[in-house]
Structure 1
Amino acid sequence: MLRKLSALFPSSKQVLFSYVFISVTCSILLFSLGLYFYLLKDISTRTDHAKAALASQMEAIFVELKSIANDADLSCDADSITRLRSATFYSPTFKEFGLFNSDYQVFCTNLGPRDFKIFNSIAQRIEASPAHRTVSLVKSHTLGDNAFLVFYKGEKGIGVNGLAPPKRLGNYVDRWLTSGYAYQLTLGKQMVVSNSADIEGSILDKQVRTLDDWAMSLAVYLPERYYWQLYQSMWPFIFLSSVFLFVLFSVLHWSFLYYRRSLPQCIKRAIQNNAMEVYFQPIVSLDENRTHELEALIRWHSPYHGQVSPLSIIEVSERLGLIDELTWMVIRKVGMLFRQNAELLKDIRISVNVDRHSLIHEDFAPTLAKVTDEWPELKGRLGLEVTETTALNSIELPLMVSRFEHIKALDIRLSVDDFGTGYAGLDFLRRFPYDTLKLDQIFIASLKEDQFTRQVLTSVTKLAKELNMEVVAEGVEREDQLEAVRELGVERVQGYYFCRPLPTDQVLEWLMAEQARKSRL
């Protein structure tokens, strides 16, 4: 069991400690920030719901008062008192009801006849209200404390007032706010109800909602202590999250190491089994009277690693010493394409990328000769693209010249690929008998805007033509780049503007469509 775990998790103590530290830190930050932003959203949502509940209850209160006013008259007989007592008994809010006349004189309550006048300030607010209603907070002898009073004046001139303990209004707020939130409900500047006499300590957030129709304001507070109470209760989850992240990081680390270690073996088997695909990207001739060319590009979808980058394939092949085998595999696939589609490809040339160090090997040219004998269709139609990534030393220089002579003798065309990004310069072009010069896409991308690049490429293009070299512009993706290339005098273009790299069946369809198009011209 221990051996299995040691194979799964990183063995290095430093890596192990790093994953523990990262896992714990990420979990703490994740839960700290997550709880904070959750509470900010939660307090806002709950405050909105509490406000809506209060507003709904206030509307229900006035519906209740309106019903009493419609059934009332200016008498305070036994029936009137009975109706008020019945309304009080069934009311979810009020402890006392009273009736007042058009002069705002209270003449009857559920406790019996009364005779006192409502404050002028309250009467003025009732008259000023379009719905003839208002609220107030006064000292109540009945409740022995502050009382919440609601007033409504009916259409018949008879008004109703209801007296309720402020705590009843707090019930509608409590339904939506948990005990950790503090709140204060005020009427004007007077406190109606609060679940905290004094908001102590730091406050992380405060939400305020107003009920303008009632001159009421609800303030809800998020105390810092409530945040820490909840945070402390989450420690078991933080611990579990840390364990999960540690396992996740460890598995990802192990998977990455396994990927790095297994990818070379998979690439090796794919090369040996001839399992990689070759895609072809057209090199389009801007002269309608000339045929197009193709560049062969390696592609591979591993059953274990998915789509593997061509750069990764080349890098691993070089590291394993399999770059030559990769090159021969691609060239043989090109030969197979020529053999199976002889009529369609009779005038088409196809180029293959080759590593410069492969060319220097003593057995490269003889092996290439054997391959062309095996696939005679390649003679005169195969091209090798060479990228100059490093400078040639005094030993490599004469070897390269000799290898080029042998290759040219096999009727194989040579191209300098990605010109301008490596060590290939103007003197390099004079020294080596290349047939084609390919301008790197980096220069094509900035050709329209960069005057210096334009001048350099103009000189390079002119020199290439003087040396009887064809010029190909790589990476042409837009109309303006194509026009700039035309102005340079470049007649062959490669890039997504015309066509992306295609698998064999699709590139054959593309060539047939092009031949059909030219035949119609």
Structure 2
Amino acid sequence: MVKMVSSRLQGRKKTLLLCAFFSLVSSIMVFASSLYWYLLDDLEQRTDTAQQVLDNQMQNIFVELKEVADQATFFCEKDDVKRLQKTTFYSPIFKEYGLFDHDYKLFCSNIGPIDITLYSTVIERLKSSQDRKTVSLSQSNTLSESTFFAFYQREDGLGVNGLAPPRSFSLFIDQILRPDYHYLLTIGKNTIDSRRDAHQHSASHSAAVGVLAHRSVTLDDWSLTLKVFLPTALYWQYCLLLLPFAIVSWLILLVAFYSATLLWHHYQHSLHHCIKRAIKRNEMQVHYQPIVSLQRDKPHELEALIRWHSERHGQVSPLIIVDTANRLGLMEELTWMVIRQVGNFYRDNHTVLKDIKTAVNVDRFSLLKDSFTPMLAELLNQYPELTGRLGLEVTETSALNDDELPLMVSRFEHLKKIGVSLSVDDFGTGYSGLDFLRRFPYDTLKLDQVFIASLKDDHFSRQILTSVTKLAKELGMELIAEGVERQDQLEAVQMLGVDRVQGYFFSRPLPKEQVVAWLLDNTPANTPVCR
């Protein structure tokens, strides 16, 4: 007992350790992948938002340039300069404005008259632009740094350009992207602005510099490209921040895994699971109870009864086996298992059993299935020893509806054609009356042991059995009395004209070796009917 308890404790300890390991691995995988996909989704959403903001910002820039151009003239008088200065003062982006003519020469700015020719590359882009607008990034003499330039030209050739520090674009992007996200904003191959030397984070070097993922969007109208990078360091930072939640999820998974494992072990050792497994593996045994003939010129018969001893549950009642099989939808499999064992029994003892019939219990609703009769015929081909020796006992447990009645009659007729005899088991305990006997072509009627037990003292039961016996004889049916356990019961059923008896008075259900010995010792001529 101590060793058994110790073994169980060791088993549970091992199960707990395995569950802890698998739950830890599972929680790490779920946590790591979930965080990764969350950050990827966040990266994508924020990049899309930044793209929309940049696009709106560029639209606003050229709306502002167009307004300046609409007010400008081809002169650079004092009023023109003041107007440019005022516009520059109120502009949220540009630090300087300039005007250029149809020859692409800057002739005026908010500082005063100037004489500068635009770069040839800018001129080409303006000429090829459908909207006569373009942008560039170059060194500014005024701002003394790399400067963003935006150009717009009216149809009459007057154009305006605005100068802005690249950082003005970052102010909008910084509000959208997380502080730890790196990004790179470029015009063509020139960098407008970046965060934390993100210009080093190209796709080919992303792994080397610790970038987990990146997203790139392009504003084709402006030749702007925004690359946003997810640093590996940010991922690990989130991992550390969410570590308590990861530990909690691990504990939850541990409890769930351990509980599920215990439930599974419990189910594996449960009676229902063991019965199901025993049926699937053909682990049950068939015992045989003699049906003793009261006529000396007729042989005895047998009834095949299921028996099973479970290593965990001990001897299991046949009623529990049948009820469980019915609940699990395994009644047909149980029936085929019994018939196959009976077939092997006849094959191994053909000489002794050549004149003996054996009855097998079958569920009435199994008979209603289209596959039952063909399957039974196939089994009779496999076991020709059973031909003419197999009987089916159909328990009278429930009433059949109007659709099932003709179908059942048809099944019975097919079964009798292939040499299978039929008997109604436990008659009088179900829903049917005497008319039940007339409707179905049974060969044998078995009187339930409930009536046999009270036959001597119960005048009403005796009258019922007398009527049933008379009707069965008129219909050409043989009678079997179940549950005969005493001499007085035997004498009473003999007076009713019963053909055969079954019960502990003669024999309990026996294993196949013992029932063969019983048959050899109890030929009909030697079987005592009265003692």
TM-score by length of 2: 0.54
Q: Per-residue displacement from partner, 1:58-81 (whole Å, max 9, x unpaired)? A: 111101100111111123233322
* Structure 2: stretches of 5+ with no match in the other structure: 1-8, 202-207, 276-309, 394-413, 422-531
State the partner residue of 1:18. Answer: 18
Partner-residue secondary structure (3-state), 2:221: helix
Q: Relative to 1, partners in 2 of residues 1:128 and 1:423: Cα closer, same or farther, differing over 3 Å?
A: same
Distance 1:39 1:194 in 2: 20
Is 1:81 paired with 2:84? no
Measure how far apart 1:172 and its partner are: 2.7
Match of residue 318, structure 2, among 318, 323, 331: 323
1:216 aligns with 2:224: yes
2:344 to 378, 385, 392: 392
Partner of 1:138: 138
SS at match of 1:135: strand
Give per-residue Cα distances to partners, 1:184-210, cap 9 Å, x unaligned.
Answer: 112111111111323361433232222
Paired residue type of 1:32: A
Distance 1:101 1:161 in 2: 11
Report sequence identity in percent. Answer: 32
- Contact 1:104-1:118 within 8 A present in 2 as well: yes
Distance 1:387 1:143, change over 3 A: farther
The correspondence for 1:231, drawn from 232, 239, 245, is: 239
Partner of 2:513: none
Residue 213 of structure 2: which of 186, 205, 219 is its match?
A: 205
CA contact (8 A) 2:98 2:162 kept: yes
Provide the C-alpha distance between the structure 2 equivalents of 1:184 and 1:220, rounded to a whole number of angstroms.
Answer: 6
Amino acid at match of 1:153: Q
Distance in 2 (alpha carbons) for counterparts of 1:10 and 1:248 = 20
What per-residue deviation string (whole Å, max 9, x for no partner) do you get for residues 113-141 of structure 1?
A: 22222223212211211100111111112
The aligned runs of 1:408-427 (5 Å cut-off) are 418-419=375-376, 425-427=382-384
Alignment of structure 1 residues 193-342 onto 2, 5 Å = 193-197=193-197, 198-199=200-201, 201-256=209-264, 321-324=316-319
Q: State the Cα deviation string for residues 454-495 of structure 1 (Å, max 9, x = none).
A: xxxxxxxxx99985569xxxxxxxxxxxxxxxxxxxxxxxxx
Range with bigger deviation, 144-153 or 41-50: 41-50
Contact kept, 8 Å, 1:317 with 1:326, in 2: the verdict is: no
Q: Give the AA of the match of 1:248.
A: A
Partner of 2:358: 404
Secondary structure at the aligned position of 2:358 is classed as: helix
Superimposed CA distance per residue, residues 424-478 of structure 1 (whole angstroms, 9 cap, x where no aligned partner): 7142443633589xxxxxxxxxxxxxxxxxxxxxxxxxx99985569xxxxxxxx
In structure 2, the CA distance between the partners of 1:119 and 1:328, relative to structure 1 (3 Å rule), is closer
| Equivalent runs, 1:183-194 vs 2, <5 Å | 183-194=183-194
Amino acid at match of 1:204: L
Retained in 1: the 8 A contact 2:360–2:391?
no
Q: Distance in 1 between matches of 2:117 and 2:248?
A: 68
Tell me what 2:390 maps to: 433
Q: Is the 8 A contact 1:183 1:219 kept in 2?
A: yes
Matched-pair contact (CA < 8 Å) for 1:317–1:323? no
> Aligned partners of 1:28 and 1:138: how far apart in 2?
49
Question: Could you say what secondary structure the match of 1:175 adopts?
Answer: helix
Instruction: Give 3-state SS (helix, strand or coil) of 1:12's partner.
Output: helix
8 Å contact kept, 1:206–1:221: yes
What is the number of equivalent residue pairs in this alignment?
337
Residue 55 of structure 1 aligns with which residue? 55
TM-score (norm 1): 0.55
How much is the aligned-residue C-alpha RMSD, in angstroms? 4.3
Question: 1:223-257 CA distances to partner (integer Å, 9 max, x unpaired)?
Answer: 33332222232221211111111111223334445
SS at match of 1:404: strand
Q: Distance in 1 between matches of 2:12 and 2:165?
A: 69
**After superposition, what is the alpha-carbon deviation per residue over 1:17-64, rounded to whole angstroms, capped at 9, x for unaligned?**
111111111111111222222333332332222222211211111011
After superposition, what is the alpha-carbon deviation per residue over 1:313-346, rounded to whole angstroms, capped at 9, x for unaligned?
xx99997623246659999xxxxxxxxxxxxxxx
Larger Rg: 2
Please say if residues 76 and 113 of structure 2, whose CA atoms lie closer than 8 Å, have aligned partners that are also in contact. Answer: yes
Match for residue 32 of structure 1? 32
